[in-house]
């Protein structure tokens, strides 16, 4: 629901933002790794072409799987968080097609849900 009046807008603006992650550098590093993998494949494909628009589209399509392969594993909270950051960035830059994006985000959702059921370590007596 979008605000309709100035008073509703000021109420929305008054809502405090959630606390941001204290260590965003790790997520940025994961995104950089994925983008670098994409760029390597893109550049390698474009090297042997004339550089036309069709070549660029094909190169971008070929580079998408490299972006996904460079994503962090879905193991542990931080890795899942970084995986989601990479997936979101990949969607924004069109490195990940919509169908694949849905699959990746669902996998991250399932992985995150399993963390709740992870056995607690026993304390020694």
> Helix axis angle, 98-115 relative to 53-69, nearest 10°?
10
- Structure confidence at residue 13 (pLDDT): 46
pTM of the model: 0.72
Name the strand (E) or helix (H) holding 115: helix 98-115
Residues of the chain whose pLDDT is less than 70? 1-24, 121-125
Distance CA(48)–CA(50), nearest Å, equals 7
- Structure confidence at residue 66 (pLDDT): 95
- Please check whether residue 27 is in contact with residue 85, taking contact to mean a CB–CB distance below 8 angstroms: yes
- Structure confidence at residue 120 (pLDDT): 73
């Amino acid at each position: 629901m979008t605000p309709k009046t100035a008073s509703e807008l000021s109420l929305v603006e008054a809502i405090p933002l959630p606390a941001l992650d204290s260590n965003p550098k790790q997520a940025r590093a994961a995104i950089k790794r994925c983008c670098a993998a994409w760029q390597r494949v893109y550049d390698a494909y474009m090297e042997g072409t004339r550089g036309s628009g069709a070549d660029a589209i094909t190169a971008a399509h070929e580079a998408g799987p490299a972006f996904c392969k460079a994503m962090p594993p879905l193991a542990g909270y931080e890795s899942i968080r970084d995986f989601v950051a990479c997936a979101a960035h990949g969607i924004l830059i069109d490195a990940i097609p919509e169908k694949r994006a849905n699959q990746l985000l669902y996998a991250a959702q399932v992985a995150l849900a399993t963390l709740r059921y992870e056995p607690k370590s026993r304390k020694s007596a």
